[in-house]
Amino acid sequence: MTEVTLDMAGNMELICKRCFPQATRVTDRFHVQKLATEALQEMRIKHRWEAMDQENEAIERSKKTGRPFQAEVLHNGDTIKQLLARSRYVLYKKPSDWIDSQKDRAELLFGRFPDLKTAYGLSFGLSQIFENTTDKVFALARLAKWHEKVRQTGFKSFNTIARSIQNHYQTILNYFDNRSTNASAESFNAKIKAFRNLFRGVKNIEFFLYRLTQLYA
């Protein structure tokens, strides 16, 4: 075996070192991108909780003053709380894939929360590095520039990702040699999980593995 694609878990790297000591280790790009997406969603959820707190406080004040509470409704029909909840899938997509209603929602979201616009740019920018870079040297330079942008924002979650990338930069850069991913392994893993869930768990592991070999070997 000359190349092994894996995630960023330490136990997986240790297994590869022991079982395939001569193989080139490649960190799967989709695991790296997933970290950035999760950091972006974490910021969105934080804003949503803050919006819910503000709405609850406004409702309590209205009860004390006897004035009816009226939540702010944006021109697309969303309240601020709804805007943050319904923007979840908008942030997963490329701008070119947004439909008209999603473009409108993104414009409202980024206008209200400019930090989410910046974070979306970081997440999308990292994806573009993997998508459009073919040379390892250029990839290293672009990742360094991305890291500097993250540092300037001061976003804690993205700084954590940047540190993880630094700690795995060699195996991440190895991706750009052959652009290998473990998508097929992830797909097979999903099939195994679905098969296991079909029987609501596994009691006899040996028999379960035997059935897997009969079905998928």
206 & 100 share domain: no
Domain membership flag for residue 130: yes
Domain membership flag for residue 195: yes
142 & 194 share domain: no
100 & 127 share domain: yes
206 & 161 share domain: no
Q: Which has the closest alpha carbon to 30: 7, 13, 9, 10?
A: 7
Domain membership flag for residue 45: yes
113 & 203 share domain: no
Cα 16 to its chain centre, rounded Å, is: 25
Residue type, 5: T
Q: Which has the closest alpha carbon to 186: 37, 42, 29?
A: 29
206 & 171 share domain: no
Could you give the number of structural domains in the chain? Answer: 2
Range of the domain at 173: 32-178
- For 5, other C-beta atoms within 10 Å of its C-beta total 23
Domain membership flag for residue 25: no
- For 98, other C-beta atoms within 10 Å of its C-beta total 16
Angle at 176 between CA 89 and CA 159, to 5 degrees: 55
61 & 124 share domain: yes
Domain membership flag for residue 24: no
**Which residue, chain included where needed, has tokens 């652009």?**
179
169 & 201 share domain: no
The one-digit pLDDT tens for each residue of the chain (217 residues) are 588 888 777 787 888 888 888 888 888 888 899 999 999 999 999 999 999 999 999 999 998 888 888 889 999 999 999 999 999 999 999 999 999 999 999 999 999 999 999 999 999 999 999 999 989 999 999 999 999 999 999 999 999 999 999 988 889 999 998 888 766 666 666 777 777 777 777 777 787 777 777 776 6
Q: Do the beta carbons of residue 30 and residue 77 sit within 8 Å?
A: no
160 & 104 share domain: yes
Q: Is 183 left (phi over 0), alpha (psi -120 to 50) or beta?
A: alpha
* Residue 87: strand, helix, or coil: coil
174 & 187 share domain: no
Q: Do the beta carbons of residue 182 and residue 6 sit within 8 Å?
A: yes
114 & 212 share domain: no
Domain membership flag for residue 136: yes
Give 49-79 pLDDT, tens digit per residue: 999 999 999 999 998 888 888 889 999 999 9
- For 129, other C-beta atoms within 10 Å of its C-beta total 19
172 & 190 share domain: no
